[in-house]
Structure 1
């Protein structure tokens, strides 16, 4: 208790965090690392695993901090790659992070952890964590158990950095070599959704740009090679094709001809005219006399 000057009978208890002065004329504060309850005659040291910055009460160390001594005004930060299990409490020691998790010796990070999704630890889980965004074409997902950015799988891309998953390319497109964009298939090629690359149309078929499939050549046209586009070639003069999806045209037989490209049937020679057998004739000639 204490008594203010001029009031010897008015003794009062000091409140928490204060104790009577030596002459009992008033109260004085406890120092950092100490505490007092109402009515205490002396200040008490805070125990291990606790601290007091105001001299009023002791507080358990925050997560990521510890204290091995009594009477301390603050707790100490765990060293790099150590934490207190992610919990606060009466902590007197730190424990090592379990790889690949790490922890920075920083008041802003209280427990071991991995880089955020879309970022990788360029120090590989050793020493101070250094998180760097994955570039476009790559991703990082902390749940898959790897520590570095991974290339997108076949048929998928990331168009911007810092992604935790890749996007599937739609039909008619395929990833570029860096897997940073889905590019339209060129004429003569096609792709289904998720294909790793655009594929050539088969001979006898064709496609325009951005195709999801190939189309048979129309009658009167042909495609002798794979990867034809944006259209099939017309049959030359002297040749025709009556069917779809063909790789070549047929020569007009003897007695017939074709003088126009892209036709389906041959024309018969006029009476008194002829064409050479299987010569792909573009015209007929007059028969010789006799």
Structure 2
């Protein structure tokens, strides 16, 4: 009985000394500077042996403070492991991880910083949340995400940066998850556009176009922000798509879609309604020219006939010549060629 009472007294004294020593410890300070993706706990002062670096219960009769990752249990007089995840440690306490840090396991001696693109905005977090679309985070250990600026967007979760809007698209507010295409009749000439500008006169932009297009030949548009061009009206011509149609001259033709007036050939033709007719001087020239051509044809025919007669005469000359040699047939003189008299 005396030994048992002595042991109890020693244990009580050790417990009292432990409590006194623990009540004089400086509170634990958390170092929030990430080192190798972890936040270490600075415990001052802590007297630990090499056998107390991991979380496990041990008897207070050793007269040593509770090891990191454990806390003192008044019921069992033992140091027990921190049982709740999302907490890190100090002597006699299991403290929750700060904002921007998490710990999914119990009894750990370090809180883990949130990765880039993730965050947690409360203490004692078991895990980090991904940044929602329209926001980003490029730092570790973050307790919030930053919204994308106007003209930029992020369409995925856990983004580490925002992407500028492409040509022809815009975003006029912060936190855009996607950019919008400029409406009809407007365009965005630069990337990361916050707004769209209307198409200039002489240009248009339809629903399937990204940028404003120049009006085609024979079309015009004199207003801003139009989605289509108008065809140049009849009896007018449109030399440029950004000016009003010009009235056609009286002596010219201007069908619908004309770029310039069409004139009849001066001196030889003149306008008559919707067509060009021959001028009197043109008719006279054609008659004279026709007569000259006909005369030339007659002369050519006569010349060819004369040449043919001459060639025929030359061909007959050997048959009718007078100096042909005389021959005798049966001692009677006669022509060299036989002469047939017929019947």
Which sections of structure 1, spanning at least 5 residues, go unmatched? Answer: 1-42, 53-57
The structure with the largest alpha-carbon Rg is: 2
Alpha carbons of structure 1 residues 187 and 148: separation in structure 2 relative to 1, 3 Å: same
Superposition deviation, residue 237 in structure 1: 2.2
Distance of 1:114 and 1:94 partners within structure 2: 18
Counterparts of residues 193-212 of structure 1 (less than 5 Å): 193-207=174-188, 208-212=190-194
Alpha carbons of structure 1 residues 212 and 112: separation in structure 2 relative to 1, 3 Å: same
Match of 2:275, SS state, is: coil
TM-score where L is the length of structure 1: 0.64
- The answer for the alignment partner of 2:71 in structure 1 is 83
Q: Does 2:194 correspond to 1:228?
A: no
Match of 2:93, SS state, is: coil
Superposition deviation, residue 84 in structure 1: 4.1
Q: Report Cα offsets for 1:88-121 as digits up to 9, x if no partner.
A: x9992456756443345xxx56522333332332
TM-score where L is the length of structure 2: 0.55
Higher helix share goes to which structure?
A: 2
> 234, 237, 243: which one pairs with 1:257?
237
Superposition deviation, residue 212 in structure 1: 1.2
Superposition deviation, residue 132 in structure 1: 3.2
Alpha carbons of structure 1 residues 94 and 282: separation in structure 2 relative to 1, 3 Å: same
Alpha carbons of structure 1 residues 275 and 109: separation in structure 2 relative to 1, 3 Å: farther
- The answer for the alignment partner of 1:216 in structure 2 is 198
Q: Report Cα offsets for 1:139-165 as digits up to 9, x if no partner.
A: 12234x752121112321112222111
- The answer for the alignment partner of 1:17 in structure 2 is none
Higher relative contact order (CA 8 A, sep 6+): 1
> 63, 74, 86: which one pairs with 1:101?
86
Match of 2:112, SS state, is: strand
Superposition deviation, residue 61 in structure 1: 3.8
Match of 1:49, SS state, is: helix
Distance of 1:217 and 1:266 partners within structure 2: 19
Alpha carbons of structure 1 residues 120 and 226: separation in structure 2 relative to 1, 3 Å: farther
